[in-house]
Amino acid sequence: MKKKILITGWLWYIWSHAVVAFELAWYETVILDNLSNSCVTTLRNIQSILGYKPKYYECDLRNRKEVFKVFDENNFDGVIHFAWAKAVGESCNEPIYYFQNNISWSLFLFEAMEKNNVKNIIFSSSATVYHQENQMPLIESNLLGTTNPYGTTKMLLEKILEDLSQFSWFNVINLRYFNPIGAHPSWKIGEDPEWIPNNLLPFIMKVANGELEEL
């Protein structure tokens, strides 16, 4: 029997690659996304790659009742959590929104996991959790410390999950990546945001393909 994984987050870049990778590794993925900053076209592209459409819920983590319903209808073996706002600059202008969106609403997800005895989680953290005084290259044990609300939400969620690991026996993996880039060999999924990018590499790609004159 396939193991079933809940994947929360945007219907686009890293998230879409995770869905395809786990499906091809013989997992059953269940998708949860509220479409607030994503495009359902990505779901159709995933279907084109796999030959079928993974199970999908249009659901907002702010809706505790709906989150619990997703867990009631499925027997999950684990969760991959990608669902949050992610722009550093925007977080400095709207810190309260980032604290609500990235921390408070994640707690509904963790509560549903606890209630349903789902103890395995991969958390999409960020290299922004590392203190600026660290020397390159960074290693896992380097000093933590953030300079913006987005990074603070990631660091606090790591600490919450650390406590859940110690006191509620969660099995936790934190992924602290920098600027991921790449596309599926089919070119049907990749990073090509329709809005103004908030990180460097999409700008480089837009220069390379002629959409922008210079970086």
Non-local (6+) Cβ contacts of 104 within 8 A are: none
Question: Is the CB of residue 155 less than 8 Å from the CB of residue 148?
Answer: no
Beta bridge partners of 183: 190
Helix (H/G/I), strand (E/B), else coil: 156: helix
> How many angstroms from the chain centroid is the CA of residue 100?
16
Q: Is 98 a catalytic residue?
A: no
The closest alpha carbon to 115, from 70, 156, 147, belongs to 70
The closest alpha carbon to 70, from 121, 31, 15, 124, belongs to 31
List Cα–Cα distances, 162 to 145, 172, 180, in angstroms: 16, 8, 25
* 98, 130, 150, 177: the active-site residue: 150
Burial 32-62 (b: 16+ CB within 10 A, else e): bbbeebbeeebbebbeebeeeebebbebbbe
Active site residues: 150
